Amino acid sequence: MIKDRIKQKILLPRNMFYGWWIAIVSASVDSLKHGTFNKGFTSYIIPLRNELGISVAAISFAEMLGRMEGGLQGPLMGWATDRFGPRVILMFGGITSGTGFILLSFTQNYLYFICVFVGLLSLGFRAGYNNATMPAINQWFRRHRGLAMGLAGMGTAIGGTFIAPLMGFLVLSAGWRSAAFVSGVIIIAVVIPMSFLIRRDPESMGLRPDGDPIPDGEIDIAEVVFRDGEDHSRDLHGAAILHGDEP
C-alpha cells in the first residue's frame, strides 16, 4: 500500500517544457540522417563507381531495394515502437546506421556493398529515426503539435544545407572510405546519448501534454515508498498520474 506520494519536479533551464527537448533531439538526429545519408550519400556515388567498377544504375538498384525495405518494414517498426518505446527504436537506428557506415568503409565488391547498404544503412535510417521521434512528439503535444513537428522537421533542412556539403568536402579531401568511417563514428557518438533523452510520453515523467498543469484531482508520482521503509522507485510509463481518491 502506498504510504507517501511525492511530486516529481523536472528541472530545466527557465522551466522549459520537456517536450521541446524531444523536438530538439528529433531535429538533431534527423539532420544527421539527411546530411549523411538522404542527401549526403550522393557524394559517394562517383568514388564507388570508379573504385568498385560499378555503374550508377547498380548503385540506384541498391537504393531501390532500400526503399522497398523501408516500405515493408513500416508496420513492423510501428509495432516495435509501441511495444518497446521510442528510445529503444532510436538507439537501434543509431547503432545500425552508424555500424553500416563503418562497415561501408571496408567495401571491396558490389555484393558486400549491397548487404551493408540494404541490411544496415537503409534499415537503420529508415527504421529507427522518424519512427521513434515522431510518435514521441505526438504524445508530448496536443495544441502545439504542429509547431513541435515543424521544429523537428528543421533537421531535414539543416542536414541538407550544412552537413551534406561537409560530407562532400570530407569525401573529396580524405577519401570516401575515411568519410564513411568518420560518419559512422559520429552517428553512434551523437545518436546513442541523445536517445536517452527520449521519453515515451509526458505521463512517464509526471507531466501533461503541452506542459499543462495537473488538475487538482490528480497526483503525479515520482517514487513510491512502502511501509517497510524501502524505496521502490521505478520508471512508471503511462502510470505516473493517479487519481487522488484511488487506493
Provide the residue type at 65 as one letter: L
pLDDT at 212: 83
> What Å distances lie between residue 14 and 171, 174, 209, 214, CA to CA?
41, 43, 18, 19
Question: Count of alpha carbons within 13 Å of 211, Cβ hemisphere only?
Answer: 13
Q: Virtual CA dihedral for 103, 33, 63, 164, nearest 10 degrees?
A: -90
CA–CA separation, 226 and 169 (whole Å):
60
Residue range 145-174, pLDDT digits in tens:
999 999 999 999 999 999 999 999 999 999
Half-sphere exposure of 195 (CA within 13 A, CB side): 22
Whether 92 and 127 have beta carbons less than 8 Å apart is answered as: yes
- Assign domain 18-204 to a CATH class: mainly alpha
Q: Could you tell me how far CA 239 lies from the centroid of its own chain?
A: 24
Average of per-residue pLDDT values in the chain? 83
Give the residue ranges of the chain where pLDDT is below 50.
Answer: 1-12, 220-247
The pLDDT of residue 237 is 40
What is the pTM for the complete model shown?
0.80
Q: What is the pLDDT of residue 183?
A: 96
Question: What span, in angstroms and rounded, lies between the C-alpha atoms of 79 and 236?
Answer: 20
CA atoms within 13 A on the CB side of 107: 30
How confident is the model at residue 131, as a pLDDT? 87
